[in-house]
Structure formats: C-alpha cells, structure tokens
C-alpha cells in the first residue's frame, strides 16, 4: 500500500492547502494525494534543488492503482532542475511526488500548494 503525505490547510485570504517536504540525496518522497479540484483551483509544485538537483513527478492514475503500486509516474515538464523552479500542473493529477537526483550529495526541499 502507498504511503501518503497529508496536506495541511494554509491560512490566508483564499482557502488553500500545502505540504513542504525535505528529501535526502538520492531519495523519493512519499506520495502527496491530490484531491479532486474545484473550478479555478490549481496545483503548484516547487523544487528547491540548489546545486543538487531534483524533480517533481505526477500521476493521473486512479487511487486504487496508487494503493496497489501499479500507478504510472511522469516527470514534470522541467525535468531535473538545479536551483528553484515552480510549475503549475494542469490536468486531472491524482498524485505528486518529488525525487532528489541520483548521486546527489545534499538534500533538497520541495513544496506543493493547492489553491
């Protein structure tokens, strides 16, 4: 069964949720489950990779497939990045995870925001 990260509600003018994740070098985060979105909501993924490098991966597989470990992951359009990059994910994304580069020597920080 998949291990999920919980989103936390963010305080602000508009209702939104988020999750910050720190990853050790050469590792993959737990899955952030993306709930069904309402009109106007968007999912923003940010990788703060410094010189180490990292990427976000998304899935559109149903939750049942994620739970069974048979989901399909796709790299975000930016691929592996160094430095700080964000991207807005468009489409029926059901899950998101972050990957620190293979052979990396330092941790990376990542964040997902739904709002």
What CATH number does the domain containing 97 carry? 2.60.120
Structurally, the chain folds into a number of domains equal to 1
- Looking at residue 57, its pLDDT comes to 92
Structure confidence at residue 89 (pLDDT):
83
The pLDDT tens digits for 49-101 are 767 788 899 999 999 999 999 999 999 888 988 888 888 887 778 889 988 88
pLDDT attached to residue 70 = 95
User: CA–CA distance from 31 to each of 11, 39, 106 (Å)?
Assistant: 23, 23, 21
**Euclidean distance between CA atoms 62 and 40, whole angstroms:** 22
Q: Which of the two residues, 45 and 36, has the higher pLDDT score?
A: 45
pLDDT of residue 1: 63
Residue 24 DSSP label: -
CA distance 45 to 1: 24
* More confident call, 71 vs 115: 71
How high is the pLDDT of residue 41? 76
- Provide the pLDDT confidence category of residue 25 given band limits of 50, 70 and 90: confident
* Mean pLDDT on 20-28: 85
Q: In what order do the strands lie in the sheet with 8-10?
A: 8-10, 16-23, 108-114, 43-48, 84-89
Q: Which domain holds residue 57?
A: 4-114
Average pLDDT, the chain: 82
């Amino acid at each position: 069964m998949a291990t999920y990260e919980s989103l936390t509600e963010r305080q602000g003018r508009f209702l939104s949720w988020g999750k910050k994740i720190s990853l050790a070098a050469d590792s993959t985060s737990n899955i952030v489950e993306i709930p069904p979105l309402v009109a106007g909501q968007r999912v923003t993924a940010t990788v703060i990779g410094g010189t180490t490098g990292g990427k976000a991966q998304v899935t559109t597989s149903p939750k049942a497939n994620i739970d069974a470990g048979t989901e399909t992951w796709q790299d975000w359009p930016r691929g592996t990045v160094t430095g700080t990059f964000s991207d807005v994910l468009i489409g029926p994304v059901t899950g998101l995870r972050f990957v620190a580069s293979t052979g990396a020597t330092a941790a990376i920080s990542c964040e997902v925001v739904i709002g």
